[in-house]
Structure 1
């Protein structure tokens, strides 16, 4: 049986890696997910076949409860709510690891007869898993807007309080390692880590939530790998390291896309506030130029090239299918259409790619920032649908702006810019956008789906 379990684990790991390779492109992503899911199923079966696994009734009951909660939630969630679901599911993983570590402490009499590495790995998993769970809950609350997206800080006490909480958790772990066996020690560790998770994420504004989710995902993976080491469970080790490594790489890439360091993001205090001017702060009320769906349709109908710049506003309005219909009409008139994708557009990496793929937008038309920026100078109309911070020229022109240095989509190089927004409200960064006041920019106010639908009808009439 032990040899069978080992063979099943090897098969599962191969499917994990092969499935992950499929996620590199939209055409193979669904297949990749299914392959990885089959691998996880095999890993679960192998774990259940391990000799001395335990009470099967409780295991089946737990699986049933999880399926009853998870499957309907995943099926009903809207694409706009996917980031917070990812945060929630990720947090549940960290919480599970923390609880397993607690059970391991109790079942081994505080690691009385266990090797030192088992105790260290288990306590590390408890610490990181608890931080990940409670931090993910706060991230979920911010994204779901049940908690304010603004930074909530303790001011100058923020970092000392976080440091004190970490020291308390580490002190509990050290006492356990040198022979302490009181339950209060592991409870104290979990509680200090829980508060640290909350106080670490609360000061981080809405603009940085996508990076925070990715970072917490990496933490959950590392805690799972550590718990796998403590339990001698190969599946946990491999799967946890894959999640930890991929989450770390993604976090680094997203931080670079925002031109911010990970420590600066974790320090918090940026994004999610009331809009502030990105310029001199004189308080001057600047005029904007409004347009209509009819004028927008005419302008695009006489263009040679149109670039669509999607953002979170398109996701909220679920306008991707209407946008695709508009693009088909433009293409039927011989107009070239492309889509400009910023790495952090929306609320999670790949958010726009998934939405547009759902609407059957050809993958070849989805162009990453580095590729499309050189084409804006030859673009007649840049149609911005709900994007904000990722097109703000202050990132290049205003050294005093909080987003200065962040790579942006250079839509201001286009001959004409049309922005679809509900209002003049700011983006996640909480700063005003100078592009909206540019002489070449026109604002089409309203719900994105309704506005694009009106443009479609006008195009059909031309």
Structure 2
């Protein structure tokens, strides 16, 4: 029976990897999710046949019913605008599950030292490391969820923060070494987990909203690595393969997100975004020029090429459906419309893609930064909805700016720019957006959904 379970685990892992591969492109992402889901169902069912289960089917079924019921209900009810925090909390649950497995195994070893020889020293070391990583990912993801859900309103800083973080991390690592090299006593294990959970909280508290896509990717990578390590402890091939793949994918995505912001991972974790710059930033010339929805609609209606740049403000206003309705009206007038997505737009990787897909925007109308950046100079009108730092031209021109070197969408090269924005505030970095003061930029102030709705009304009268 064991060979059947292991073979099934391997097959499920292969299907999971293929599903993850299909998730890398919008046109195959839905089927990729289905493939990965089927693989997880198969792996779960095979676990019932595992020889080590020893008749604990009732507890397994209870856990599946409770966990599956909560996930099904929350998945049906969650709004697309709340998807980032849902991703964060689910990711945290994965890290917490890996840490819980490690806790059980370490407590068993503390009660029965003979199990240490049975598992082997390498498994013990990996179990401790996986426990630490999983606990950090769990508590850090909870804080990320609280920030995204508005329960924690802003990044939190206190004196000697980084020093305290390093002390907590050093103590956690020290206890981990003692547990793995000397003795996994119950009291040490509890203190070890407490410190790891505390470090996860301290790590995530100072992270600002602009860095959220990076930190969510990082915690996702940590969760995958923790699962893989605990899979080694349990001798579970499915956990090892799936965790390794998720950890590797999360690590690559984290690097891509950090590159898109031109910020090393260490700066994301240990330096506030938009902190003190190296010199005086360039002064802003000109002034913001207000426009109204009617004038904006006229500009769009008589343009040949239009690019729409969505940002987090679009998600907050839940304006994606209105935007697509407006695009359909422009299409009827022969206007060529495309969407430009910056890699870190929104609050999680792919956030804007998800919102546009929900509204029914065809995939071939959506382009990322590298695909579309050279097209702005031949664009008649670029419409920016709720984006800020990712379109700020000082990232290309001002070495003293915290944004300098960050790849941005070349919106400033368009012939005309329209910006829908609630007010005149700066972006998450705290840097004033020079785009808003250019001669060919006009601001349309107000809630994104209402403004676009007014523009639709105006288009229908032209």
Match of 1:129 among 128, 134, 140: 134
Look up the SS of the partner of 1:52 in the other structure.
Answer: helix
Look up the SS of the partner of 2:313 in the other structure.
Answer: helix
Match of 1:111 among 109, 116, 123: 116
Deviations 1:145-168 (A, max 9, x none): 211323x2334x233222221221
> 1:428 Cα shift?
2.1
The question of whether the paired residues in 1 share the 8 Å contact of 2:17 and 2:242 is answered with no
Q: How far apart in 2 are the matches of 1:337 and 1:279?
A: 40
Aligned match of 1:291: 291
Q: How far apart in 1 are the matches of 2:77 and 2:324?
A: 23
Deviations 1:371-402 (A, max 9, x none): 21111111111011111110011111221111
Question: Which residues in structure 2 correspond to 1:369-448 (within 5 Å)?
Answer: 369-448=369-448
Question: Which residues in structure 2 correspond to 1:192-203 (within 5 Å)?
Answer: 192-203=195-206
Look up the SS of the partner of 2:406 in the other structure.
Answer: coil
Structure 2 residue 259 is matched with structure 1 residue 261: no
Question: Which residues in structure 2 correspond to 1:40-51 (within 5 Å)?
Answer: 40-51=40-51
Deviations 1:306-362 (A, max 9, x none): 111111111122211211111121121111111111111111111111211222222
Q: How far apart in 2 are the matches of 1:97 and 1:6?
A: 20
Q: How far apart in 1 are the matches of 2:281 and 2:406?
A: 20
Aligned match of 1:98: 99
Aligned match of 1:211: 214
Where structure 2 has 5 or more consecutive residues not aligned to the other structure, the ranges are none
Q: How far apart in 1 are the matches of 2:164 and 2:280?
A: 35
Q: How far apart in 2 are the matches of 1:330 and 1:285?
A: 33
Q: How far apart in 1 are the matches of 2:277 and 2:169?
A: 37
Aligned match of 1:313: 313
Aligned match of 1:84: 85
The question of whether the paired residues in 2 share the 8 Å contact of 1:143 and 1:149 is answered with no
Deviations 1:214-272 (A, max 9, x none): 0011001001000000110111101100110000000000100001111111113225x
> 1:187 Cα shift?
0.9
**What TM-score, normalized by structure 1, do the two folds share?**
0.94
> 1:179 Cα shift?
3.3
Structure 2 residue 337 is matched with structure 1 residue 337: yes
Q: How far apart in 1 are the matches of 2:123 and 2:415?
A: 63
> 1:10 Cα shift?
2.2
Distance 1:289 1:72, change over 3 A: same
Aligned match of 2:366: 366
Match of 1:183 among 186, 193, 210: 186
Q: How far apart in 1 are the matches of 2:276 and 2:285?
A: 12
Match of 2:175 among 156, 169, 172: 172
Aligned match of 2:158: 154
Structure 2 residue 261 is matched with structure 1 residue 270: no
Look up the SS of the partner of 1:406 in the other structure.
Answer: coil
The question of whether the paired residues in 2 share the 8 Å contact of 1:92 and 1:133 is answered with yes
Aligned match of 2:303: 303
Look up the SS of the partner of 2:418 in the other structure.
Answer: strand
Deviations 1:402-450 (A, max 9, x none): 1111000111111110000111122222222111122211111111111
Q: Which moved more, 1:112-121 or 1:382-391?
A: 112-121
> 1:190 Cα shift?
0.6
Aligned match of 2:28: 28
Q: How far apart in 2 are the matches of 1:129 and 1:190?
A: 10
> 1:25 Cα shift?
2.1
Q: How far apart in 1 are the matches of 2:273 and 2:297?
A: 38
> 1:29 Cα shift?
1.2
Aligned match of 1:61: 62
Look up the SS of the partner of 1:442 in the other structure.
Answer: strand
Q: How far apart in 1 are the matches of 2:393 and 2:217?
A: 26
> 1:277 Cα shift?
11
Look up the SS of the partner of 1:428 in the other structure.
Answer: coil
Look up the SS of the partner of 1:309 in the other structure.
Answer: strand
Distance 1:110 1:438, change over 3 A: farther
Distance 1:213 1:418, change over 3 A: same
Structure 2 residue 243 is matched with structure 1 residue 240: yes
Distance 1:14 1:131, change over 3 A: same
The question of whether the paired residues in 2 share the 8 Å contact of 1:306 and 1:335 is answered with yes
Report the number of matched residues: 457
**What TM-score, normalized by structure 2, do the two folds share?**
0.94
Deviations 1:110-136 (A, max 9, x none): 736431011111111111111111111
Q: How far apart in 1 are the matches of 2:184 and 2:398?
A: 57
The question of whether the paired residues in 1 share the 8 Å contact of 2:12 and 2:39 is answered with yes
RMSD, matched Cα: 2.1
